[in-house]
Structure 1
Amino acid sequence: MSGINNNPTKEPLPEIPTPLLNDPRPAPDKDQVVSAFKTLEPTRDFSTMTKSPCAKESFIDGAAMGLGVGLLKAMKSGPGRSAANWGFGAFVLMTVGTWEYCHFKIRQKRQLMASGHSPVVSTVDLDAAKLKAAIAARQRDD
């Protein structure tokens, strides 16, 4: 298949190769993508999101940061779409950042526990343990 050439004094245009009919690469599997989307259940997924570690703290930190950045941008350049965009961007970045940092700390604690070292226990945990022991001792005495 040669290209159209209106000038006979020029060289003919090179042939354009047709796509390979028997492409050795496998075609992308659309069934996998469809089945992945079928497993999503928004009501179940969003209702259990707050039970995962770090979720509440991440969303609260993100909301506070987004609100603060949005208000500062609105005070500086006036209310409008730009302030909302800045606020939403700050919300997303702060939420993802605090989520990742919290999960990083959890991974560190798990690595410490797996290596045989005990993680640092806060005094609040010790006070709660003492309180539980005291309550248990009173219940045994009664």
Structure 2
Amino acid sequence: MSGANNNPDKDALPEIPIPILNDPRPAPDKDQVVAAFKTLEPGRNFSTMRKSPCAKESFIDGAAVGLGLGLMRAMKTGAGRSAANWAFGGFVVMTIGTWEYCHYKIRQKRQLMSTGQMPVVNTIDVDAAKKREAIAARQRDV
């Protein structure tokens, strides 16, 4: 089926795939879902989450936005429960958003480094080189 085009000088419009309403792929097996949940270890997973490079910034941003939304909602309506709901919702949305954005930036940097468009810099080597240069400059001045 070619696209409807009234102008014969232009190329035919591309075909648009029609979504399949009855997807022939089988639904995930219940055993697979249960097995996936059994691999979670909340004690270990949540205790190591603070070591993630984006955790601190995400939780601080989420707490700030949640507190701000909660206070503004409480001042506007005076309803404590509604304000708490808004505060918690703001905290969750902001935390997830900043977490994902931070990891997106990390993925972008890794991709640039792997393609060679961004040099891989070891900060320890850079700091050591700066110290050596400072020592050499002081020795020249003496």
TM (norm. structure 1) is 0.64
Distance apart, 1:133 and its partner CA: 3.8
Please tell me whether the aligned partners of residues 109 and 119 of structure 1 are also in contact (alpha carbons under 8 angstroms).
no
In structure 2, the partner of 1:8 is none
In structure 2, the partner of 1:80 is 80
In structure 2, the partner of 1:102 is 102
Identity across the alignment (%): 74
In structure 1, the partner of 2:71 is 71
Give the number of equivalent residue pairs.
108
CA distance in structure 2 between the partners assigned to 1:27 and 1:57 by the alignment: 38
In structure 1, the partner of 2:92 is 92
Distance apart, 1:79 and its partner CA: 3.8
In structure 2, the partner of 1:11 is none
Please tell me whether the aligned partners of residues 113 and 120 of structure 2 are also in contact (alpha carbons under 8 angstroms).
no
- Consecutive unaligned residues of structure 1, counting only runs of 5 or more, are 1-23, 138-142
1:36-89, CA deviations, whole angstroms, 9 ceiling, x for partnerless residues? 121111111110111122011101110111011101111111141110111111
Alpha carbons of structure 1 residues 105 and 78: separation in structure 2 relative to 1, 3 Å = same
Alignment pair present for 1:45 and 2:45: yes
Distance apart, 1:120 and its partner CA: 9.5
* Letter of the structure 1 residue corresponding to residue 103 of structure 2: H
CA distance in structure 1 between the partners assigned to 2:129 and 2:72 by the alignment: 45
Please tell me whether the aligned partners of residues 73 and 83 of structure 1 are also in contact (alpha carbons under 8 angstroms).
yes
CA distance in structure 2 between the partners assigned to 1:103 and 1:90 by the alignment: 20
Extract structure 1 runs of 4+ deviating beyond 6 A: none
Distance apart, 1:96 and its partner CA: 1.1
TM (norm. structure 2) is 0.64
- Consecutive unaligned residues of structure 2, counting only runs of 5 or more, are 1-23, 136-142
Please tell me whether the aligned partners of residues 54 and 99 of structure 2 are also in contact (alpha carbons under 8 angstroms).
yes
Q: CA RMSD in A?
A: 2.9
Q: Is the partner of 2:117 in helix, strand or coil?
A: coil
